[in-house]
Amino acid sequence: MDEKDLVKRILEGDQYAFKELINTYQPLVSHMVGRLIDNDLDREELCQDVFIRVYDHLGKFKFDSKLSTWIATISYRMALNFLKKDKRNPMEEDLDHVAFYIGVEDNSYERDDFVKFIHVLINQLPISYRAVLTLYHIEGFSYPEIVEVMDMPEGTVKNYLFRARKKLKELSEPYLGKEIHEL
């Protein structure tokens, strides 16, 4: 079933169609929210709220973009609003001002550990950098799609992606064993 049929059925009140939409876009929403929000309970609650917002505003969706882009935009904005209201974790937007906590002294990482290690580092990046990395690397969004989701110029998106990758490489190199110093 294509997107238009799915949306039409949901607007006609078909709950099964809405469940199908949730199951289709659940990974996208959980990746976005999972990357931007720290607490598991907040994440689940926010994911529910994202789909409720999608349900409420589906009638306004005019297919100017892909449904995935529209849902990613809602997820990103709702996560940002949540973080702005949440006083526990003040938002740092400047990458140069972030003090990264590495948390390990052992410099020999196994494959799976390395993935976890990179995730720990990503979770310390400023929000916009995390969002760009998630949309580009996990969801496979194009630059114009990321521009639409994050409402920032394409140059900025590319810059964020470049700087985030560079920073993560700088931080991870010393913890991958002696050979990495040859890089």
Partner 1 sequence: MNRNQFEQEFDRALRSAPEFHLPKDFSDQVVNKIDHRTEIEQRRQAIFMVAGIVAFLLLSAICLAIYVDMEVLQQLMGISGWGVLTGLLVVAIQLLDQNLLHHRRARLG
Residues near partner 1 (CB under 8 A) are: 15, 18-19, 22-23, 26-27, 30-31, 33-35, 40, 43-44, 47-48, 51-52, 55, 111, 114-115, 117-119, 122, 133-134, 137-138, 165, 168-169, 172-173, 176-177, 179-180, 182-183
Decide if 118 contacts 126 (C-beta within 8 A). no
Q: Give Cα separations from 106 to 52, 140, 174, 179 (angstroms).
A: 45, 33, 10, 15
When the beta carbons of 33 and 149 are compared against partner 1, the nearer one is 33
- For residue 23, the minimal CB distance to partner 1 (Å) is 6
When the beta carbons of 23 and 64 are compared against partner 1, the nearer one is 23
- For residue 118, the minimal CB distance to partner 1 (Å) is 4
Decide if 43 contacts 37 (C-beta within 8 A). yes
- For residue 96, the minimal CB distance to partner 1 (Å) is 21
When the beta carbons of 40 and 105 are compared against partner 1, the nearer one is 40
Concatenated DSSP letters for 17-73?
HHHHHHHHHHHHHHHHHHHH---HHHHHHHHHHHHHHHHHHGGG--SSS-HHHHHHH
When the beta carbons of 4 and 169 are compared against partner 1, the nearer one is 169
